[in-house]
Structures are given as C-alpha cells and as structure tokens.
Amino acid sequence: MTEEFRTVIGLEIHVQLNTRAKMFCGCDNNAEGKEPNTVVCPVCMGMPGTLPVASREAIEKTIKLGLALGCEIPKISKFDRKHYFYPDLPKGYQISQYDQPFCKGGQIELESGTVKLNRVHLEEDAGKLVHPKGSKYSIVDLNRAGTPLLEIVSEPDITSPAMAKDYMKELHLILRNLRISDADMEKGQMRCDANISVQLKGERRKGKVASSPIVEIKNLNSFRFVEKALAHEEKKLQEEFEKWPEKKTKLTHGFDSNRGTTYPMREKEEAKDYRYFPEPDVPPFDLTRFPIEKWKKELPKLPSHHRARLSELGLTKEEANIIAKDDTIKDVIENVAEKNKAIIGKLLINNVEARKLSIEALNQIADTIRDGSPSNWVRDMIRRSVKSGKLPLEIVKETKGLAPSSEEISEKTKEFTKFLISENPDVVQKHKAGKAGALEFLIGQGMKMTKGTVNPKELREELVKQLEEEKR
Ligand SMILES: [Zn+2]
C-alpha cells in the first residue's frame, strides 16, 4: 500500500528566544520557578494605553538564525496584529509578522535530503492556562506572555516521519549552537505543529482525487512524539484515502502521547480569520541600518560544517555526529593541533577522564600514541596526567627517565623487546604464521609488564625489526 503513496510533511516550529527581557517590555524573560503572574507589567498584561517597544536583542537573534540558515534578510520588515480570542491572550491579538518577516527562504541540509524553509518570523508568546484538577474553572498565568517566540516554517519538503524527526533534531542543534535558545522541549521552549498529507503516485492518480486532506497535528513537544504522531496519521490517511471527500479540506488534530494516537480538534483557522493588519504601535524596521554583515561574521560554524570536516579527518559518521552535538568536545577539537584532531576526537568520545585534560596535555598524548598504541597504556597515561596535573611528556620522562626519543630508552626497549620475544614463543609463532593481532597482543603484554613505562611506538618498531631479523 505504501508504494502507491507519497507523503508530504511540513513543520512549523516555535522556539522561545533566550533574551534577557521579553519581546515588547522590560520584564525578565526567565520566569522559571517564579510565582504565577509575578513577572509581568502593564505591557505584557495587555493593559489599554500601553506601548510596546521591540527588543533589539530578539531581532538580532532572529536575524542571526536566518543568516545561519541561508535565509534572505529583506530590506524592510514589520510586525502585524494577529487577532484571535483566547483567555491566555489578554490583548485579544498577538503581535506577530504576516507578509514581511525578518527572514525569507533558507534551508536545512539533512542526510536524507534538503528541507527548504519558507520563512522565519518573530512574535510574542501567549500566557498559559492552568486547569486545577477537579475544579470547574481555569486560571491564567501571564508570566510567559510576551516571551519572544520564533516561528520557523518549512516548505512541505519532508517525505517521512523519520525525516521530520531528523529535521527537528538538526534545527534543535543549530539553535543551541547559535546560543539563541535553550530549546528545552520539556519546558516548552521548542514546540512543533506538523502538517501532513498523502498523495497518490503515478497510474492510480488518473481520474482520482490526488491528495488526502492536510492534517495539522498541534503542539508536539518531543522528537519521538513528532515521529510517532506523524506515523500514526500517515497510516490513517493512506487507509482511509478513498473515503476523503473530493473537496480538499484541512483538519486539525491533537496527539495523545499515552495512546500514540491523534484526535480531532477545532477546524484550523485560515489567514483571513485572523484579520491581520500592520501593528500601528511598532514602526517598520529598515534592516539596511542593522549591522547584518558584522552579525554574519560573528556566526559560529554550523553542525553540518563540523560533521563534514570531522569526516574528512577520518572520524566515522557516528563519531562526527557525537562531536558536532557536544559543545565541550567540539571546542576542544577546534583548538588542538590539526594533525591530532581525529585521534583526540576518538579519545574524548571514549574516555571521559580525557575531557579533564588541557589542550596541551591532549596534544602531547596524541603525539605519543600514533600507530595504534594499546588502549590501556593510553588510559593509564591519561589517568596519571589528570591525577598529578603533570603533562604527559613530563610523566614519560619521570618514569625511569624514559623520554621517548633518547638513546638510553632505545637501548632499554631493545633489551626488553628481546626479553618479550623469548617469553612469548607461542605468540611469536602465530605472528610468523601471519596471524593478525599477534603483534598487538605482544605490545599489550609489553605495556602490562612494564606498567606502561615503555614507549609503545618504539616497542612496536623494535618488535617488528627483531621479528624480521628472527625470520632470516
Ligand atoms: Zn512585561
């Protein structure tokens, strides 16, 4: 059945910006842990006669996201009033953007394809309704009213529920990377409305209704729910395809995360129902007067850039992904020597203790562990360096004065290698028979016997040399 259909998904994602003040007033934008209705003022409570003043910080953060996503930043942008009645919206309208948003177009690159964007616009969040259990009334908390809210609208380029999840994860990563939002979904700082329809492909399309209605699923607040709700709706739209009336309609659904199913909500409003008109109290913005070029230069590199670069350096896709997501590891990788990036990347992923080391210490470790040194030697060195606060090269010197390239240690290594070979005749036989891993085993044994004080690189070289000589 699935092969007959193509799935079309578009996402509208709302993101609260982490500005110091709210969108149009000076109230603290962080109401976490505060009593209801204590982080409010006449402006964000919608009192008559108050005047909104737009936050420059919010506009800057919006435009920076637009620049990072390759959006066009128009010359002029303005706010509009979007009217609807709901108890958490005291003004009776929301200040939003209609036809002249701050950012137009743009795209997000995913492994599964490119998702073009329609726009990124800025608006204010509404308050919150609280429904006390067992009571017949609801109470209103306006602490959230007036929080700067981004709306990121994609084109319907997403072709599967899994791709929708990937898209959302990538956007989440970009927002965190730019440090414009904490995007904590559990706290409602990032929420998603998803639009889905299924269309008939090829032959069967002739003379038939080509598309199902578009179903909008509201307020999805986790990556998993986005995928689950869309998968549920996709299946239902396919199964009930023949039943849909000719006239294309729009339906609005909610998602029941306990059951994993969707349920009908009120009909979706069309733009005309909102009676948009330009916000008379906030004049339009001449964006040519904003330091856009400077902001562009200040942008950090995007996760996709880091992934591509790390892959070039020889890390696997999974490793590159882990690093691109972890700001702390990424910052370290940016600062270590170019030749050591891959080795240190792997180290930081696999060894939590290594994350405590300085850039210099990491570089020294990477310099001493080329050519597949045994991991227990590396672990030991990291542990010692973290514990003593000494640099790895100091430790190498201290432990029996074994500096890696001195003549003396070479003599010692030579002698020890001879000893190692005589102690492990079976393994030596296996090596001569071409058994993979025998050499590594010998090196591992050597590290163990010397408690890591011999240089693994020299031991390896010496082993290879002496074993070659034995063959002759
Ligand atoms: Zn306020």
**pLDDT digits 0-9 by tens, 195-224:** 999 998 865 656 666 888 899 999 999 999
Q: Are 147 and 255 in the same domain? A: yes
- The CA distance from 88 to 139, in Å, is 9
**Local confidence band at 2 (pLDDT 50, 70, 90 cut-offs):** low
Could you tell me how far CA 428 lies from the centroid of its own chain? Answer: 49
At 399 the pLDDT is 65
Q: Are 400 and 260 in the same domain? A: no
Q: Are 207 and 83 in the same domain? A: yes
Q: Is the pLDDT of residue 161 over 90?
A: yes
Residue 452's domain comprises 351-471
pLDDT tens, residue by residue, 60-103: 999 999 999 999 999 999 999 999 999 999 999 999 999 999 99
Q: Are 263 and 395 in the same domain? A: no
| Mean of pLDDT values over 18-32 | 96
Does residue 44 belong to any structural domain of this protein? yes
Does residue 328 belong to any structural domain of this protein? no
Q: Exposed, middle or buried, 224 (CB in 10 Å: 0-12/13-18/19+)? A: exposed
**Local confidence band at 404 (pLDDT 50, 70, 90 cut-offs):** very low
Q: By percentage, how much of the chain surpasses pLDDT 90?
A: 50
81 Cα: distance to centroid of ligand 1 (angstroms): 18
80 Cα: distance to centroid of ligand 1 (angstroms): 19
When the pLDDT of each residue in the chain is averaged and rounded to a whole number, the result is 88
Does residue 345 belong to any structural domain of this protein? no
pLDDT tens, residue by residue, 270-323: 667 899 999 999 999 999 999 999 999 999 888 888 888 888 888 888 888 888
311 Cα: distance to centroid of ligand 1 (angstroms): 47
Per-residue tokens: 324: 């691109």
**Local confidence band at 57 (pLDDT 50, 70, 90 cut-offs):** very high
Q: Are 261 and 397 in the same domain? A: no
At 117 the pLDDT is 98
Q: How many domains would you assign to the chain? A: 2
- The CA distance from 121 to 123, in Å, is 7
Last residue of a domain, one of 294, 310, 338: 294
| Mean of pLDDT values over 42-69 | 97
At 422 the pLDDT is 87
Does residue 75 belong to any structural domain of this protein? yes
79 Cα: distance to centroid of ligand 1 (angstroms): 18
pTM, whole model, 2 decimals?
A: 0.77
121 Cα: distance to centroid of ligand 1 (angstroms): 21
Q: Are 94 and 199 in the same domain? A: yes
The CA angle 383-389-394, to the nearest 5 degrees, is 85
Last residue of a domain, one of 249, 272, 294: 294
181 Cα: distance to centroid of ligand 1 (angstroms): 20
Could you tell me how far CA 126 lies from the centroid of its own chain? Answer: 26
Q: Report whether 175 contacts 190 (CB < 8 A).
A: yes
Q: Is the pLDDT of residue 403 over 50?
A: no
Q: Are 167 and 285 in the same domain? A: yes
Q: Is the pLDDT of residue 142 over 50?
A: yes
Residue 333, SS3 per DSSP = helix
Q: What is each CA distance from 192 to 44, 188, 230, 445, in whole angstroms?
A: 24, 10, 12, 55
Q: Is the pLDDT of residue 423 over 80?
A: yes
**Local confidence band at 1 (pLDDT 50, 70, 90 cut-offs):** low
25 Cα: distance to centroid of ligand 1 (angstroms): 5
Q: By percentage, how much of the chain surpasses pLDDT 70?
A: 91
- The CA distance from 230 to 217, in Å, is 8
59 Cα: distance to centroid of ligand 1 (angstroms): 17
Does residue 156 belong to any structural domain of this protein? yes
Lowest mean pLDDT among 264-278, 336-350, 415-429: 264-278
Does residue 318 belong to any structural domain of this protein? no
Q: Are 36 and 122 in the same domain? A: yes
Q: Is the pLDDT of residue 56 over 70?
A: yes
Last residue of a domain, one of 294, 310, 343: 294
Q: Report whether 365 contacts 381 (CB < 8 A).
A: yes
Q: Are 263 and 367 in the same domain? A: no
At 270 the pLDDT is 67
Does residue 236 belong to any structural domain of this protein? yes
Does residue 273 belong to any structural domain of this protein? yes
What residues form DSSP beta bridges with 141? 128
Q: Are 138 and 231 in the same domain? A: yes
pLDDT tens, residue by residue, 88-100: 999 999 999 999 9
146 Cα: distance to centroid of ligand 1 (angstroms): 7
126 Cα: distance to centroid of ligand 1 (angstroms): 12
Which of 180, 178, 244, 254 minimizes the C-alpha distance to 221?
Answer: 254
At 100 the pLDDT is 98
Q: Report whether 324 contacts 333 (CB < 8 A).
A: no
**Local confidence band at 246 (pLDDT 50, 70, 90 cut-offs):** low
297 Cα: distance to centroid of ligand 1 (angstroms): 33
At 446 the pLDDT is 86
What residues form DSSP beta bridges with 264? 253
Q: Is the pLDDT of residue 5 over 50?
A: yes
Residue 423: CB partners within 8 Å, gap ≥ 6? 445
At 364 the pLDDT is 86
At 407 the pLDDT is 45
Q: Report whether 206 contacts 27 (CB < 8 A).
A: no
Q: Are 271 and 402 in the same domain? A: no
Q: Are 80 and 226 in the same domain? A: yes
28 Cα: distance to centroid of ligand 1 (angstroms): 8
